[in-house]
Amino acid sequence: MTNSKKLLIVAGARPNFMKIAPILRELKLHQDVFDWRLVHTGQHYDKDMSTVFFEELGIPAPDFYLDAGGGTHAQQTGRIMERFEVVCQKWQPDLVIVVGDVNSTLAASIVAKKAGSKVAHVEAGLRSGDMSMPEEINRIVTDAITDYFFVTEPSGIDNLIREGHEPSQLFFVGHVMIDNLYHQLSILESRPGHQFSTSPLKRELETGYGVLTLHRPSNVDDPVALSNLIAVINQVSVHLPLLFVVHPRTASIIERHEIGLASGVHLLRPLPYMEFLNLWKDARLVLTDSGGLQEETTALGVPCITLRENTERPITVTDGSNVLVGSDSSKILRAVELQLQSGKQRESRKPELWDGAAASRIVEVLRRVL
C-alpha cells in the first residue's frame, strides 16, 4: 500500500448514507490504488436515521465516529470541524470525499481543505437560488473550496461554470444515489413476498395510496405554516389515503403543537430504506419536500408533487415526474387532482447517465487525477 492514495469518505446524515454505499462498493474493487477510511460524523444518530442504513445498504462500520449530532447549526458544524480535524491530523488524507449538502458536508470540506488535502464533492453544483435554505449555503461554501466536482445533472455544470470554476475540474458522472436505488431495487425484487412492518397496512390500502414526507425547516419549523400545510394534507387524504413517514423533527413539532391529522393520514416512524422503497415505488403519488426523493421518483417514473417553491434539482421537473407546488393549498389540491385523473399524468423520462454506473465513473476519474 506504500504508493496508494489515502482517502477519507465522510457521511453524517441519512441522505448521505445512500450516496456513499455505491462509492464504497466501487472503492473495494480498487484496493491496489486507494487506502480509505470511513468517517461518520454522527449528525444523525437515532437507530432509525442511521444504524439501519449502515446494515441495510451494506456500509461497513465507520473507522471514525465523531458523535457530533444535535444542537444548533453552529454547534453541530463546529463540533464536526473540531473532531474531524483530529482525524485528518491522524490519517493525513490525500483526498477527502464529501457527498450531498448537509452540515457534515460543509464542516468536513472546510477542515480537509485547511489540512492541505484535496476535496472531492459528490453531487456538486446544485443550486436552488434560495439562501434561506441551510443546504444552499452548505452547497455554495463546499463548492467554493472543492477540487473535483462530481455532478449529477447538466444544471450543475452550468452553475459551476457561471461561478467561475475550471471546466477541467467538472465531471458529469450521473448520480450515485440512483446507483444505490437500482442496487436495492434488484435486492427487493429478488425476494418477492417479503413481509415488512407496513405490509398489513399496505394490504388495507390496496386500492391506492400516497406517500408523504416533510422535514424542511421552511415547512415544519413554524407551527402555523405546518398546521396550514397539514390542513391541505388532511383534505387530500379524503380522496387518497396518505402514509406519512415522519422525520423526528417534524414528529416532535406535530406533537408539541397538537396538530390534528385526519383519519386518512397514517403516521409511520422513519422507515428503513428497503421498506420505504417498497412503499413509494407503488404509490399513486408522492408528496414531499425532500431533495433525494424528487430524484428517486423521477428515476422510477413515480409521480412526485414537491411542497417547495424551488428545487436545486430542476431536471426532475423538466425531464422527470416532479411538479413544484410550494405550500399554496389550491396548487397542491389541483396537482393531486390532475394526478388522480387517468390520462392527466405528466410524461417522464430518465435523466442522462442515471444508469447505475456513477460510482464507477467517479472512481475512474479519481484514479486518473490523483
Alpha-carbon dihedral angle through residues 57, 63, 68, 74, given to the nearest 10 degrees: -90
**Candidates 2-10, 42-50, 253-261, 304-312 — which segment interacts with ligand UD1 by CB under 6 A?**
42-50
Q: Is 326 exposed, middle or buried (0-12, 13-18, 19+ CB in 10 A)?
A: middle
* DSSP code per residue over 204-255: HTTT--EEEE---HHHHTSHHHHHHHHHHHHHHHHHS-EEEE--HHHHHHHH
> Which three-class secondary structure state does DSSP give residue 2?
coil
**Candidates 45-53, 174-182, 278-286, 309-317 — which segment interacts with ligand UD1 by CB under 6 A?**
45-53
Using CB under 6 A as the binding rule, the residues of this chain from 126 to 165 that contact ligand UD1 are 134-135
Choice between 56 and 94, CB closer to ligand UD1? 56
Binding string to ligand UD1 for residues 80 to 119, with x set by CB under 6 A, is what? ---------------------xxx----------------
Which residue among 165, 215, 247, 266 is the active-site one? Answer: 215
> CB of residue 270 vs ligand UD1: minimum separation in angstroms?
8
* Helix, strand, coil fractions of the chain, as percent rounded to 5: 45, 15, 40
> CB of residue 189 vs ligand UD1: minimum separation in angstroms?
26
Per the listing, cell 458544524 goes with 77
Binding string to ligand UD1 for residues 261 to 300, with x set by CB under 6 A, is what? ----------------------------------------
5-11 and 265-268 strand pairing: unpaired
Q: For the chain, first and last CA: distance in Å?
A: 15
**Catalytic-residue membership of 215:** yes
Choice between 43 and 339, CB closer to ligand UD1? 43
User: Residues in the site for ligand UD1, rule: CB under 6 A?
Assistant: 13-15, 43-46, 49-50, 69-70, 76, 101-103, 134-135, 215, 247-249
